[in-house]
Homo-oligomer: A and B are copies of this chain.
Amino acid sequence: MSAQTDWLSLLHKAGCRVTAPRGAVITAIQQATRPLGIYELHSLAREQYPYLGLVTVYRTVEKLIELNLVQRIHQPDGQHTYLPVANPNQHMLLCQGCGHVAFFEGDISSLAESISRKTGYQLDLSLVQFLGLCADCLHQTKE
C-alpha cells in the first residue's frame, strides 16, 4: 500500500516531527504480513535503529492509529497487535480461539448500509473486523 515516505510526510503534515526512531517503527509495521505485537515491533525496528526504546514504539503506534494508518487488534489472550489499515474491500477475520488472522475480500457496502439504516451505526469499512473461529478452533470447540 503506502510507501514509507508517504507515512512520514503524512506525519509531517499532521504537525509531527519526522525522526529516525519513528522511521524505524514505521518500516517495521509496514513490512508486517500479520498483526505484530509491541515486542515484535520493537525488536524488528531495532534492526534499523538499535537504541530504540519500547516506549517510543508505543507512542509512535499511538500516533499512527490517530492518523488512521494503523489499527490495533485485540487478541483473545488480551495482547494487542498492530497492522496497517486495509483497503475498504478487504476485511479482517479474527479467530477468537487462536488469534490467527485471515482476510476476506468482498464488497459489504450494502450490508453496511443496511446496518446504518437500522441502527445509526456507520461502519468504517476499512476498520470492520469479523470475529469468529477459524476452522481448527471450531472443531476443537464443538468436539
Contact = CB atoms under 8 A, between A and B. Distances in A.
Interface in A110-136: 111-112, 114-115, 118-124, 127-135
A121 B93 contact: yes
A96 interface: yes
A39 interface: no
Interface in A58-82: 68, 74, 78, 80
A122 B95 CA distance: 9
Contact of A74 (B74, B122, B133): B74
A17 B121 CA distance: 41
Nearest to A139: B122
A95 B121 contact: yes
A52 B49 CA distance: 50
Interface residues of A, number: 35
A20 interface: no
Interface string A77-96: 01010000000000001011
A138 interface: yes
Nearest to A137: B122
Contacts of A93: 115, 119, 121, 123
Given A104-B118, A121-B134, A128-B131, 5 more contacts: A106-B114, A121-B135, A127-B133, A128-B132, A129-B131
